[in-house]
Amino acid sequence: MKEQDFVVSGMSCTACAARVEKAARSVPGVREAQVNLVTGILHVVREEETDAQKIIQAVQNYGYGAQEKRQATPEKKRSAKQGWCVVASVGLLIPLVILHYMRCGEWVQALLATGIAMLNYRFFTRGVRTLAQGDPGMDALVALGSGVALVDGLVHLGMGESGGMFMESAGMILTFVSVGKWLEARATRRTGQAVEKLNHLLPTTAAVLRDGAELHVPTEQLQPGDCLVVHPGDRIAADGSVLAGISAADESALTGESMPVDKQEGSDVYAGTVNLHGLLRVRVARSQDQSALSGVIRLVSNAASRKAPVARMADKVARVFVPVVVGVACVTAGIWLVNGAAWDVAVARAVAVLVVSCPCALGLATPVAIMVGAGKGAEWGILFRSGEALESAGRATCVALDKTGTLTAGVPRITDVLPRNGTREQLLRVAVALENGANHPLARAVLACGEPPAGVVLDLQYRPGRGVRGTIEGAECAAGNIALMREMGVDVQEEKEQTEQGKTVLYVARGKTWLGSVAVADAERENAACAVQQLVADGMRAIMVTGDHAATARAIADRVGLREVHASVMPQDKERLVRELQQQGERVAMVGDGINDAPALMRADVGIAIGAGTDIAIESAGIILMHSDPMDIPRALSLSRAILSKIRQNLFLAFIYNVLMIPLAAGVFYPVFGWLLHPALAAAAMGLSSLCVVTNALRLRRFRA
């Protein structure tokens, strides 16, 4: 199977997106097709032998433009073309309106209105085609409204009667809708600025060493095994490893860490990061589109493709929206005619109903909010896989937190050095000498203290389950538990305070002298306590779920402020616990980083993976926290709630607009208040409704957690 993106033009509402997906799925070999209405991207999963041109042709047969993403016309050119069409339409509309109000030059008005219709021919071609296919959308409403007005005006002129009002209405409808769509497109493009910024981090060319010569090639031609030459100040073009050179890299765009990371032979480097100083030669491990940064970009870009459950109601309404509106317009015209209104008045009411109705606002309500929110999250290193995960996070009531790697760093380190008979330095040097060369976590924690060894160790013996012993400068030394100390006849006292805190205590002796103890623990992350405090303040039920011993778990829980602890829990028991919480009515967000967390991450309403975790945990989660900062957990949930709130606001705006404006356009309020809506104002109102939805979503860019 192969995944591929296509750029689709001409979509204006959810009905358009649904038709494009239907067209793509009709091609044999296409397994999946999803459209992101905001970005205009069609994401297809197809069999390798399926021709991409067949997919493009199928979409074009439905009246939409389609190109492979790598060959697509740049967005600026498409926007410029749309802008010139709008300018030309406005240029023709101004004299049309002047002539209309001067009540002269009706045939000139007809020519000007026809010119505007020709400039905006896409509304008619797509509208007629979707009507013929029995699946009409917004284009059909605009085509019907403006087409009826234009044809009726021409018929009146042909019969020698005044048709000026309808010429002006047709021109204003098309122009106002075009202006509204152009403004909407400009606003919508701002929703993807976070993705654009990420895309700009990936260089388009790279220096490659071939046959001893340095060549500059497009980055899409890079293959695993190529040798990159990265000069100081250059961005690295692909993920790989350093073959030669010493430097440091700015990886803040990918990891959020502001400090440079030293690089030398064998070090991993990542696409989009900056080589700060020193010439590097890098062996490419993955092509640029498979790099870690490209994966982040895909996650952000596709977040709006998989619909959130809250959007399904809008989709159901949008499917029947246009046929219902056409029916309402026909009924409106009939009622006005039955009540003795002139033909012109009845047609004007029907046209106003057709034009004022706006399925676009319903279609944009969810994806624009998700796109802006996902972009905001990406700035913080919070990646949402889908709209569904985002909505589930926004509704979460309970957060189940793994301990190791989530609340703690997952790497044991020395927390206490307790000299008893000697100095701190003597104690650590003996411990370092004995543990030097060992590969277990306790040894690595001791060696990380930075002290030099006390001397060369002879007759080194590892005692499984007890510790290590050996001879240093003629004296027998040992580092291990109390059992090893007693075996050697060393008089020691148990470090009860450290043991009760869940720490592992390493007792160190020289001969029969107890030098002291070193306490090692997987200490909590810097912001763990703040994160728990914020979750509780937000009304969340916070729980620790860990496979570690009860004493260790309880000690960490006390330090970070957690009251509810489930310790010694196996992976299948974590999944069962999440299921039990759900049966109690909780909406569970599970946070983890390891393979043992994967079942619970999948079972939870939303899984949240710490970015430094395993690939399995990350693949099982709906949200990924790139920076491994516990404070990103409440940030992600807070942002999700804000996005969900914005979606509800947008849906309310879209629904209330149509509920109020369609009756107004039909003339329901005319008998009581004398209110009527001119078809041209109806067109302007339709454009403004979509613009309001997009603008409201853009307010998320100012969100602060």
Catalytic residues: 402
Alpha-carbon distance of 174 to 140, in angstroms, equals: 12
Pairing of strands 280-284, 227-230: antiparallel
**DSSP letter string over 314-346?**
HHHHHHHHHHHHHHHHHHHHHHHHHTT--HHHH
CB neighbour list of residue 213: distance below 8 Å, 6 or more residues apart: none
The partner residues of 504 in beta bridges, in order of sequence, read 520
CB neighbour list of residue 197: distance below 8 Å, 6 or more residues apart: none
The partner residues of 521 in beta bridges, in order of sequence, read 413
User: What does each C-alpha distance from 296 to 16, 32, 149, 257, 625 come to in angstroms?
Assistant: 28, 21, 49, 16, 11
Angle at 188 between CA 185 and CA 190, to 5 degrees: 120
State which H helix or E strand residue 543 sits in. Answer: strand 541-545
**Closest to 127 in 3D by CA, of 146, 116, 149, 143:** 143
CB 401 within 8 A of CB 577: no
Task: Please name the amino acid found at residue 567.
Answer: A
Pairing of strands 541-545, 564-566: parallel
Alpha-carbon distance of 394 to 56, in angstroms, equals: 37
CB 521 within 8 A of CB 505: no
**Closest to 444 in 3D by CA, of 427, 454, 431, 425:** 431
CB 398 within 8 A of CB 587: yes
Alpha-carbon distance of 483 to 511, in angstroms, equals: 16
DSSP label at 429?
Answer: H
CB 449 within 8 A of CB 428: yes
Beta strands in 231-354 (DSSP E): 240-244, 247-250, 261-263, 268-269, 274-277, 280-284
Distance of CA 306 to the CA centre of its chain: 11
CB neighbour list of residue 608: distance below 8 Å, 6 or more residues apart: 393, 589, 590, 591, 592, 601, 621, 622, 623, 624, 625, 633, 636
Instruction: Return the number of other C-beta atoms located less than 10 Å from residue 409's C-beta.
Output: 17
CB neighbour list of residue 585: distance below 8 Å, 6 or more residues apart: none
- Residue holding tokens 């759900």? 582
The partner residues of 510 in beta bridges, in order of sequence, read 477, 513
Angle at 176 between CA 172 and CA 178, to 5 degrees: 120
Alpha-carbon distance of 614 to 623, in angstroms, equals: 14
| Structure-token pair, residue 126 | 């797509």
Angle at 696 between CA 694 and CA 699, to 5 degrees: 110
DSSP label at 412?
Answer: -
Alpha-carbon distance of 412 to 435, in angstroms, equals: 14
CB neighbour list of residue 97: distance below 8 Å, 6 or more residues apart: 168, 171, 172
| Structure-token pair, residue 491 | 């008089």
CB 27 within 8 A of CB 60: no
CB 263 within 8 A of CB 274: no
